[in-house]
Amino acid sequence: MWVAATLIAALAQTGRNAAQAGLTGRIGTLGATGVRFLFGLPFAVLFLAAVAMVRPIPALTGTAMAYAALGALAQVAATALMLAAMQRRGFAVATALIKTEPVTVALLGAALLGEALTVSRLGAIAVATAGVMVLSGTDWRRMGSIPMLLGIVSGALFGLSAIGFRGGILALSGGGFVERATTILVLSLGMQTLLVGGWLALRDRAALRGMLGAWRESLGAGFLGAVASQFWFIAFALAPAANVRTLALVELVFAAALSRRRREGLSRREIAGMALITGGVGWLLATAA
């Protein structure tokens, strides 16, 4: 079930990214980024209301709220650093380094949540991560140290956010995995909306006006973002975050294949990278089974 939830989340996230990319030219990078929080929260609340009609919502605990806050803050900071890295002409570096997130998630999961680090799990994660680096084809020698540092820290913070969300879900008392996942989703999105919305209200009101002006597109991006987050959180409720984020690397294989369909074909480097990612993910699934 966690495999299905992860694949649905990755697909919805791809759609959200496309919608956000379309908004960037109209309302700016910060405005398009804020859409995922401000316009995603209402849909997450609707998801929680639907769940509450069937099953009782679990009671919040101090530990769950602390973990949710950790995940929410880390995700916002990671997004900001990712954008900063890409703005410094480090798009390829940022993308590759951020996708090393499963390594960080595995280490933090062991340290904070007590999730076992077996040799097989680490091997699968390492192989899949190596595939990301090969597939990216980045000429590391030409990249400055600042974009690389920003990308590394951003990837680590994205990993920390995944651990925070999973920790919050596990810390709730009672309830099934859907109720717990949806509760933490609404809690974390509420925190992020207050943080990002407050920042934009103080520093970039033009972005807020742009969101309202493009409300139809913003609603679409917010809905896809909420759906993606809902299934990410369901996957986190069912499996270690490192497994979820490693499986999500398959998205890169799909993207690379689709981007080359109408061109001359895949290079040997790209085929090698895709093979490593696929092999690492397959190894991980066999280990999980």
Chain segment 214-230, per-residue pLDDT in tens: 888 889 889 999 999 99
CB atoms within 10 A of CB 204: 16
Which pLDDT score is estimated for 89? Answer: 57
Q: What is the mean pLDDT of residues 138-166?
A: 80
Q: Greatest CA span in the chain, whole angstroms?
A: 56
Q: What is the mean pLDDT of residues 179-207?
A: 92
This prediction has a pTM of: 0.87
Q: What is the mean pLDDT of residues 57-71?
A: 95
Which pLDDT score is estimated for 92? Answer: 59
Identify the weakest region by mean pLDDT among 71-80, 160-169, 247-256: 247-256
Which pLDDT score is estimated for 30? Answer: 76
Dihedral (Cα; 153, 111, 13, 36), 10-degree rounding: -70
Q: What are phi and psi of 59, to 5 degrees?
A: -75, 140
* 8 A C-beta contact, residue 183 and residue 176: no
Residue 289 to residues 37, 39, 286: CA-CA distances in angstroms? 35, 37, 5
| Whether pLDDT at 141 is above 70 | no
Q: Three-class SS of residue 253?
A: helix
Instruction: Give the position of tokens 């397959």.
Output: 282
Q: Where are the alpha helices (DSSP H) in the chain?
A: 2-38, 41-52, 62-87, 91-98, 101-112, 119-136, 145-171, 177-203, 205-213, 215-238, 241-247, 250-260, 268-288
Count Cα atoms within 13 angstroms, Cβ side, for 131.
28
Q: Which residue has the higher pLDDT, 119 or 87?
A: 119
Q: What is the mean pLDDT of residues 37-50?
A: 95
Q: Where are the alpha helices (DSSP H) in 172-261?
A: 177-203, 205-213, 215-238, 241-247, 250-260
Identify the band that residue 32 occupies on the pLDDT scale cut at 50, 70 and 90: confident
Q: Six-digit token pair at 241?
A: 């975050």
CB atoms within 10 A of CB 152: 18
Mean pLDDT, the chain, rounded, equals: 84
